Amino acid sequence: MTLANIVVHLDSSPRAAARVALAVKLAARHGARLTGLFAETVSAHRVGVVASWPPAEHVAAVAAARDAFVAATATLGDRARFIDVNRGGEQEILLRTTDIARAFDLVVLGQHEEGGRTPADLAEHLILEGGRPVLVVPYAGTYEDLGHRPLFAWHRSRGAARSLHDALPLIAAGADALVVEAGRMGEAADEFADLVVADLAAHGISARFQTIVVEEVKLMDMLLNQAADHSADLMAIGAFDSTGFAFLGRGSGTRYVLRHMTLPVLFSH
C-alpha cells in the first residue's frame, strides 16, 4: 500500500525541521507529493482600531518557513509545494487547516509544546474533524524513520481496526510488529486474534499478538511501556473511540497519549 499525497504542518518552532525530515522520508519511500502547510498564531497589525493583514511578523515567518521547506524537500523536486494558511487567529487556523487536511492521505503534525505558537488543540481537532489519519511526532527525540517496529493498539472496536489499516502504508518491508490487546480482568480475549495476525502477514508484516490484563486507568501507560519494551518506532491507535474501553471513548486516553507520547503515534478516528 502506498501514500500519494502527504501534508506536514509547519511553524516557526525548531522542531518543524524534524517532522519535515520524517515527512520527506515517507514521501520519498512512496513517491508521494508533500505539501508543507504553514500555520501559527499571530495578531494582525493594528494602528488604532484599524487592523491590517498580514503583519510584517507573519510575512517574515512565512518566508523563513518556505525557504527551510524548499531546502529540506529539494530531493522531491516538483512533488513538493508550500501553502500558507494565511490566518493568525486560533479558530481560523483550526478551521482552515482542517479543511485543507481533508484533501490528503496523511497529516503529519508535531506534539504541542507549551509556549509555542500553534493552537493547543490543533492535533485533537484534526483527529476528530479531519477524517484523515494523523501522525503526531513528539516534541523531543530523534525520529529519522518509522514503521520498522510498529505497535498496534488493539481492541474489538471500530477505531482499533481503522488505525491498524490506516497504518499499513507506513509499515516498512520486513517489519517486526506487535499487536497489543488490553483487556479487563475476567474479559475474554479476542477469539479472532489469529485473523488479525494473518491479515498483517498478508501485507508482508510479521506480527505477534499479545493480550494484557490492565486496569482501565493504567491502559495508556501500559501501551507506552509496551512500545518502549518493543523498541517501537510507531504506535497506531484508535482515537476517541466510542467502543471498547469507556476510558478511550471519553477521549481521556487519546489526550493522555497526545501529552505523554514517547514515539510517533498514528491516530485514526
Instruction: Establish if 56 belongs to a structural domain.
Output: yes
Which of 144, 181, 147, 123 minimizes the C-alpha distance to 1? 147
Q: How confident is the model at residue 190 (pLDDT cuts 50, 70, 90)?
A: confident
154 lies in the same domain as 210: yes
Q: How far apart are CA 2 and CA 33, in angstroms?
A: 12
Question: Which tens digit of pLDDT belongs to each residue from 222-233?
Answer: 899 999 999 999
The pLDDT of residue 128 is 95
Instruction: Establish if 238 belongs to a structural domain.
Output: yes
Q: How confident is the model at residue 44 (pLDDT cuts 50, 70, 90)?
A: low
Residue where a domain stops, chosen among 114, 137, 160 = 137
80 lies in the same domain as 14: yes
Mean pLDDT of all residues in 128-136: 97
Q: How confident is the model at residue 48 (pLDDT cuts 50, 70, 90)?
A: low
Give the domain CATH number at 35: 3.40.50.620
73 lies in the same domain as 122: yes
The pLDDT of residue 187 is 72
The pLDDT of residue 93 is 96
Instruction: Establish if 31 belongs to a structural domain.
Output: yes
Look-up of cell digits 517489519: 175
124 lies in the same domain as 162: no
The pLDDT of residue 247 is 43
The pLDDT of residue 52 is 77
Instruction: Establish if 69 belongs to a structural domain.
Output: yes
- Find the domain containing 92 and state its range: 5-137
Mean pLDDT of all residues in 126-147: 95
What's the domain count of the chain?
2
Which of 135, 114, 235, 220 minimizes the C-alpha distance to 179? 235
